[in-house]
Amino acid sequence: MTSHSPRGLIVVTGPMFSGKTEELGRHYTRFHIAKKTIGLCKPHDHRTGSAIVSRSGFRAEGTLLNSAEGLLSFASAYDVVIIDEAQFFDESLPAVVRKIMRERLVIVFGLNLDFQGVPFTNMAMLMAMATEPVVYLTAVCGKCHSTRALYSQRLTSETDRIVTGFANYEPRCLTCFEPPTST
């Protein structure tokens, strides 16, 4: 690592279908061209496997980590650390990132809100810690086609906080979002 290595924290958040993975690919490609070493990782308990694939064609393999604590040794090998699906890491993630971002650049991607419209704590904390303006992406509302959709509307009746699969969700704006009534 040279003295010119970037450091700090960039946070990219938004609902499902807001283009987070396209943004991930853009950052990845930029730092690749800049000849930085890039560590790409995601939490192991996430059910979609290690591949990170965007609709526009970016594809990379992420290292699956069992815990946020595991990030400390993982990050030590890289100039830039990219974390995908950060909302699914355990709650020690913000503290771990606070250590790593002093030495290297951390770029975090994750969902803003859960299916009830409640912030994911990891993301809310990381957004407060960001050293650059948070990139808050929006999607197109599945109901009224507003381009300001911030919510991930679950289309099934499951009540687990984590239910993956794009087919189970559609983006909704504040007006069209219908929080589950059972909770």
Burial class (CB in 10 A: 0-12, 13-18, 19+), 26: middle
Partner residues linked to 111 by β-bridges: 14
Binding mask 155-174 for Zn ion (x = CB under 5 A): ------------------x-
Q: Contact between 146 and Zn ion (CB under 5 A)?
A: yes
SS3 state of residue 130: coil
Do the bridges between strand 135-136 and strand 59-61 make them parallel or antiparallel, or are there none, so unpaired?
unpaired
Task: Give least dist CB 84 to Zn ion, A.
Answer: 27
Among 141, 150, 169, 171, binds Zn ion (CB under 5 A): 141
Is residue 12 a contact partner of residue 26, using CB atoms and an 8 Å limit?
no
Distance CA 104, CA 86 (A): 17
Among 50, 143, 163, 168, binds Zn ion (CB under 5 A): 143
Binding range to Zn ion, per CB under 5 A, among 55-63, 65-73, 115-123, 139-147: 139-147
Among 144, 148, 165, 179, binds Zn ion (CB under 5 A): 144
Is residue 102 a contact partner of residue 7, using CB atoms and an 8 Å limit?
yes
> Which residue lies nearer to Zn ion by CB, 96 or 173?
173
State yes or no: is 69 an active-site residue: no
> Contact positions toward Zn ion, by CB under 5 A?
141, 143-144, 146, 173, 176
